[in-house]
């Protein structure tokens, strides 16, 4: 329990993300109370009584829900005591991606409203065993940074930074901050975190509230290294020292056996065999996905308890996660592994949730909820990949966009983004890019997709097709640019 006067809400929210908090954050001001559900450092839902923040009202305002459906949702919530999301699933008629984007907008509105509070109270209700929840296409850090930039003057940020206002900051190596690249001001800050300029001087030179706010967020996350002296230009990232270990045999000792190569060769053969077995397992699982129930996907009995389901999921994650397969040299399996692991994650989520498990056993699991989980993860991967694509990190974008396409191949925007990233990366994969552009254009057309597809077609020597696509692009938008 605490007050927002003592702990400003921006600092509280960034701290919850940094500490991977799971549970419920309760915010109250007078008679108004909002409850935000968090899973592993990300807000995933909100319960609010404000009409403008109701999910059904947001969908209705976007034309995705008819007025009579809004009334039926309200009746279902009142009669059954269920959540709005559950009521919407029973009413039906809302496309999964529309629903997920509405959930993200609901969070954005509700947290955005609270970020303006200077008075109020908060309470944390931790969850020791949080169930999995798909991340929404909602960037908490960007929202917080925007609010801090709007309402905190520079001197207030410098006071909040304390001694770090006098340090020479650099970014912790390997830290991912994709939200910094979503606008030019934050990208300028990222380029200046080289340890050569003191914080207060750096923020005064940049002279942009967005830069100062972004710096404060990075500092609160704990991803900055603060040094007391400026770094030399060539010493911003010191190289690791090279160490040579020399082992001397004691006098009279027998010479050590020189049998290293056969041992290493045997280990290499064993590793290759393990990789081949894993490759076969993934391909067999992928081929059978449509015929397996969720218990078979996880490899547990139908009466398995939640703890056993969780253990099976952790075992599968350690062995079959797509990122691990890349590390093992099985990158060619990534698309299949993405689909397999998405189904494994769904099996864990459904079978570890008593209500969803009951509905699944009875054959009544709401398709909208299952699809919403999948599209939420796909949309989150797409948003992160799109940021990298715009920043010119094409190889990083490909990994995320492949994940989005594997989870939701019916979305034209995902297909087109992956196609462009494949064409722009080094070395380019123009043939694969063309295949994804064809899928995107079969699902829908936009001028920029047509123009980009024409460039790929020209690269592949399809001149007539390239000219046709370019003409269609300019017919839709005479000013289109790739």
What is the reported pLDDT for 118?
Answer: 84
What is the reported pLDDT for 377?
Answer: 73
Predicted confidence band of residue 183 (pLDDT cuts 50, 70, 90): low
Contacts of 161 (CB under 8 A, 6+ apart): 199, 215, 216, 219
Contact indicator for 12, 125 with CB cutoff of 8 Å: no
Mean pLDDT across the chain, nearest whole number? 80
Model confidence over 91-130: pLDDT tens digits? 777 777 788 888 889 999 999 999 989 899 999 988 765 5
Half-sphere exposure for 343 (CA within 13 Å, toward CB): 22
Between 49 and 462, residue with greater pLDDT: 462
B/e letters for 54-71, b = 16+ CB within 10 Å, e = fewer, are bbbbbbbeeebbeeebbe
Q: Per residue, what are the HEC states of 247-260?
A: CCCCCCCCCCCCCH
Q: Tokens 């034209």 appear where? A: 412
Q: Which of 256, 237, 258, 236 is nearest to 247 (CA)?
A: 256
Predicted confidence band of residue 32 (pLDDT cuts 50, 70, 90): very high
Model confidence over 427-458: pLDDT tens digits? 999 999 999 999 999 998 999 999 999 999 99
Q: Is the pLDDT of residue 244 over 80?
A: no
What is the reported pLDDT for 130?
Answer: 57
pTM exceeds 0.85: no
Predicted confidence band of residue 247 (pLDDT cuts 50, 70, 90): very low
Model confidence over 201-240: pLDDT tens digits? 899 888 889 899 999 999 988 888 888 888 765 343 333 3
Q: Is the pLDDT of residue 248 over 60?
A: no
Beta carbons within 10 angstroms of residue 329's beta carbon: 11
Predicted confidence band of residue 246 (pLDDT cuts 50, 70, 90): very low
Predicted confidence band of residue 273 (pLDDT cuts 50, 70, 90): low
User: CA 258 to CA 263: how far, in whole Å?
Assistant: 10
Q: Which of 174, 262, 182, 169 is nearest to 218 (CA)?
A: 169
Mapping DSSP to helix (H, G, I), strand (E, B) and coil, where does residue 36 land? strand
State the virtual CA torsion across 194, 196, 201, 202 in degrees, nearest 10: -20
> Among 5-19, 233-247, 265-279, where is mean pLDDT lowest?
233-247
Helices (H) and strands (E) in the chain, counts: 22, 7
Predicted confidence band of residue 154 (pLDDT cuts 50, 70, 90): confident
Q: Is the pLDDT of residue 5 over 90?
A: no
- Kindly state the percentage of the chain with pLDDT values over 90: 22
């Amino acid at each position: 329990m605490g007050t927002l006067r003592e702990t400003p809400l921006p600092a509280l929210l960034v701290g919850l993300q940094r500490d991977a908090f799971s549970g419920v954050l309760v915010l109250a001001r007078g008679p108004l109370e909002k409850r935000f559900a968090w899973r592993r450092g990300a807000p995933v839902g909100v319960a609010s009584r404000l009409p403008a923040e109701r999910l059904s009202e947001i969908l209705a305002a976007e034309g995705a829900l008819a007025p009579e459906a809004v009334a039926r949702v309200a009746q279902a919530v009142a009669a059954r005591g269920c959540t709005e999301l559950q009521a919407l699933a029973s009413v039906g008629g809302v496309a999964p991606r529309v629903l997920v984007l509405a959930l993200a907008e609901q969070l954005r509105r509700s947290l955005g409203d609270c970020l303006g509070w200077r008075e109020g109270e908060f309470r944390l209700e931790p969850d020791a065993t949080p169930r999995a929840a798909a991340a929404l296409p909602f960037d908490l850090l960007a929202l917080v940074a925007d609010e801090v930039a709007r309402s905190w003057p520079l001197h207030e940020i410098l006071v909040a930074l304390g001694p770090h206002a006098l340090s020479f900051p650099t970014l912790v190596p390997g830290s991912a901050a994709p939200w910094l690249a979503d606008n030019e001001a934050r990208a300028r800050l990222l380029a200046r975190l080289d340890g050569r300029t003191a914080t207060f001087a750096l923020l005064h030179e940049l002279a942009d509230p967005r830069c100062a706010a972004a710096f404060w967020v990075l500092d609160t996350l704990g991803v900055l290294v603060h040094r007391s002296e400026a770094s030399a230009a060539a010493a911003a990232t010191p190289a690791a020292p090279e160490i040579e270990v020399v082992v001397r045999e004691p006098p009279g000792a027998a010479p050590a056996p020189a049998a290293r190569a056969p041992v290493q060769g045997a280990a290499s053969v064993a590793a290759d065999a393990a990789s081949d077995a894993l490759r076969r397992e993934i391909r067999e699982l992928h081929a059978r996905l449509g015929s397996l129930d969720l218990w078979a996907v996880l490899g547990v009995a139908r009466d398995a308890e939640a703890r056993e389901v969780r253990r099976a999921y952790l075992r599968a994650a350690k062995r079959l996660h797509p990122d691990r397969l890349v590390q093992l040299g099985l990158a060619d399996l990534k698309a299949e592994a993405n689909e397999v692991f998405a189904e494994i994650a769904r099996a864990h989520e459904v079978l570890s949730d008593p209500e969803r498990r009951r509905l699944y056993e009875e054959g009544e699991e709401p398709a909208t909820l299952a699809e919403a989980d999948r599209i939420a993860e796909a949309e989150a991967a797409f948003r992160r990949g799109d940021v990298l694509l715009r920043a010119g990190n094409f190889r990083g974008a490909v990994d995320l966009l492949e994940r989005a396409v594997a989870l939701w191949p019916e979305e034209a925007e995902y297909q087109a983004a992956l196609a462009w990233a494949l064409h722009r990366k080094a070395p380019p994969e123009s043939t694969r890019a063309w295949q994804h552009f064809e899928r995107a254009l079969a699902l829908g057309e936009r001028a920029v997709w047509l123009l980009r597809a024409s460039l790929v077609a020209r690269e592949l020597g399809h001149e007539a097709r390239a000219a046709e696509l370019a003409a269609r692009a300019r017919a839709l938008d005479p000013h289109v640019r790739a």
